[in-house]
Amino acid sequence: MKRSASADKSHWPRANFDREPHRSRERGQLDRMAWPHQSSPYSSNNRLLENNVYSPEDRVRRPRDWRADYSVKPNLLTRFSSTRHRYPSDVIEMNDPVKRVPTTLLHRISSSRPPMLIDLRFPIQTQIQLHADQRNHFGFGSGSIFPYLGRPPSRIDLAQMACEPPSPHMRFYHPKLPWYIDIMSASAVQSRGGAVPGTPGLGVGFGVLGLTVWEVIEGVWRELQRPITSRDFYNEEMGTIMSGGRTRSSREISKGVRRVDWLGIDGEWVWTGIVRKSSGMWEIKTRKV
């Protein structure tokens, strides 16, 4: 249960959607170990030209850290075609031949009965506490971000393996996001030995453990809170696409556009589960609020 310590309620804010929960020094150290950063094997997928500032007058070409099959405005033909146009990209592709099955807490089988309901705009800990308060004090609601549980998730729930067989690395994508989201378990980051996505043999064992439910939901949420760069917005493909979409509150958006705001183009903020695709990647399923 050591890895589920991040779900300790002592660190959760009560009902404040405007700020992230307080993080202790130990939590900060765990965060730096558990999520990709400059020294991560995935850093080549996230090379950002932070020193370059662009304006609408000097739009640049499509960023090469976008996934190759991403289209800003997919038409019906490309959306349902098995062979999509691929653009130039520096992203390292991967293929996981192992047929893994997600845990029931994450596996979305039916859109009418989603296994999870997480609003990706707000901290997950806050939502867990809010659901619990609604259930305890007002007598309504499921009491959980996982409706099937009918109660707040326990440490045991959050410490379950995210999939079977377990995997220390899972790559996620969403049709509306130009970036892949690579999540590694904390033990894999510490013991990876320079392994990169798609490297054969990157599995559990010898001190490397599989990803837990908590590591997946917290890791995906955190990656979506990353600010975008100027070249993500001011490029030839984006144009004014974001101007017609919905964003977070004006107070939050004033702090800068984040990756999660791409989902606001159609208002699909609510994460409802994951589905495994043939390549071994995992599609993030969302719906409107």
Taking only the tens of pLDDT, the chain with its 289 residues reads: 444 433 343 333 333 333 333 444 433 433 333 333 333 333 333 333 344 555 555 567 888 889 999 988 765 444 555 556 788 889 999 889 999 999 999 999 999 999 999 999 999 999 999 888 877 766 656 668 999 898 889 999 999 999 999 999 999 999 999 999 999 998 888 876 545 444 544 566 667 889 999 999 999 999 999 998 888 877 777 764 555 455 566 555 557 889 999 998 889 999 999 999 988 999 999 999 8
Q: List the domain range (segments joined by +) for residue 181.
A: 55-287
**Rounded to whole angstroms, what are the CA distances from 86 to 18, 67, 83, 119?**
39, 9, 9, 31
Q: Is 238 among the domain residues?
A: yes
Q: Is 193 among the domain residues?
A: yes
Q: Is 8 among the domain residues?
A: no
**How many domains is the chain built from?**
1
- Cα separation, 10 vs 121, in Å, equals 22
Q: What is the pTM of this model?
A: 0.73
- 21 preceded by cis ω (within 30°)? no
**Rounded to whole angstroms, what are the CA distances from 94 to 119, 132, 173, 255?**
28, 39, 12, 34
Give residue 59's pLDDT: 67
Residues 6+ apart with CB under 8 A from 110: none
Q: Is 199 among the domain residues?
A: yes
Q: Is 11 among the domain residues?
A: no
Q: Is 129 among the domain residues?
A: yes
Q: Is 60 among the domain residues?
A: yes
Residues 6+ apart with CB under 8 A from 181: 171, 172, 173, 219, 220, 223, 224, 284
Q: Is 6 among the domain residues?
A: no
